Amino acid sequence: MRLLTCVLLLACLPLAAEPLKVGDDAADFAPSNWINPPTFTSFAELRGDVILLKTWGISNAECVKQLPEMNEYHKKPGLHVVSLYTEVHKFEDLEAAVTKHKIEYPIALDSFWPAGYPGDVVPNVWIIGTDGKVKFIGTDFKAALDEELAKVTYPGLGRDKIAKAAEEAVILFVQGKFAAAYKAAEAITSEGAADDAEWIMKRIDERVKTLANRAETAESERRYDVAKAAWKELARYAGIEDAAQAAERLKKLNESAEVKKEQSARRELIKLQYVLAMAFRKINKDDAAELRKFRERSMNDYQKFAEKHKGTAAGDIAAERVESFKELLKESD
């Protein structure tokens, strides 16, 4: 993936961060491209739960063998699976694998290497514990995962101890019945559970606000895959005032011809990036003439894309890359 990332960012990346070690705080990363984008942007939002990060590729037999298991892990309460895709090939091949294996968890396509999650070992796993620190790095991760998951008493809540008087509200929260959980928390009168009641309501309020802001921001940036994921998640909070618009906003995006056009253009841009990454792989990077020829091809391909998809966010990104390649070519003159 370092190779693909260099191509996507025009070989102008800063040096990759030192690989994370066990005991380090988990580092965030912000991919430009996702398949199945998550509804969080920072691992801090998941504090109290467990995160499983995993490198993989479709040409690796062990990775493919583990896909059904990863699907099952994705369903576990209190566990968040995020996969880091490391291979360079036709993007359609990855899409086909996602469909075939019914992968629903997030797949990051770039930006994790500079954050300290190198992709040179496949498969490889990082287990991030309930305290936000890296607990395990390697392949034989099941014991470490079970140990961390045993610490998650109330998935999503961020607390492991709750007063008895707050148990009804917490059970509703864990079941995803957020409006009912909020109402039950409001009704708590026991002084011993007042702090827990406040925590439950605050947790719901903050999550609703975060999701709404994320959806609005993604829409304004025309990142409709992210916006849809956020509105879909927010719709689960139906009955909470600030979540009332979620279902309608999601429906509107799903039916919009303009949104479909934008998403189609973004997919075509990712496909182009993979094509260029494959081409970059074949050249001799120490040959100035070959490198210049690749840059010229990339500039021209992005120029054609920008013209074809003018007026879309993907077209704007391509146009920016044209200018970046022009600068690189000037520097090599």
Do residues 144 and 37 both lie within one domain?
Answer: yes
Domain membership of residue 252 (yes or no) is no
Q: Kindly report, residue by residue over 126-180, the tens digit of the pLDDT.
A: 999 999 999 999 999 999 999 999 999 999 999 999 999 999 999 999 999 999 9
How far apart (Å, rounded) are the C-alpha atoms in residues 9 and 307? 20
DSSP state of 45: G
Instruction: Quickly state the pLDDT bin for 13 (edges 50, 70, 90).
Output: very low
DSSP state of 43: G
| 49 touches 152 (CB < 8 A) | yes
Helices (H), the chain: 2-8, 61-74, 91-100, 142-149, 167-174, 178-186, 194-220, 224-234, 246-255, 257-282, 288-308, 313-332
Residue range(s) defining the domain that contains residue 7:
2-149
Check whether 15 has a pLDDT greater than 60.
Answer: no
Domain membership of residue 24 (yes or no) is yes
Domain membership of residue 250 (yes or no) is no
Task: Name the average pLDDT for the chain.
Answer: 94
Please give the pLDDT value at position 331.
87
Do residues 22 and 116 both lie within one domain?
Answer: yes
Please give the tally of structural domains in the chain.
Answer: 3
CATH of the domain at 82: 3.40.30.10
Torsion of CA 302, 306, 309, 310, to 10 degrees: 170
Instruction: Quickly state the pLDDT bin for 59 (edges 50, 70, 90).
Output: very high
As a whole number of Å, the CA-based R_g of the chain is: 22
Do residues 137 and 72 both lie within one domain?
Answer: yes
Domain membership of residue 217 (yes or no) is yes
DSSP state of 238: T
Answer left, alpha or beta for residue 69, where phi above 0 means left and psi between -120 and 50 means alpha: alpha
Please give the pLDDT value at position 233.
98
Do residues 219 and 295 both lie within one domain?
Answer: no
Check whether 8 has a pLDDT greater than 60.
Answer: no
How far is C-alpha 77 from the geometric centre of its chain's CA atoms? 18
Instruction: Single out the residue of 229, 328, 223, 270 nearest to residue 90, CA to CA.
Output: 270
Please give the pLDDT value at position 7.
53
How far is C-alpha 209 from the geometric centre of its chain's CA atoms? 19
Please give the pLDDT value at position 12.
44
Do residues 114 and 137 both lie within one domain?
Answer: yes
| 222 touches 316 (CB < 8 A) | no
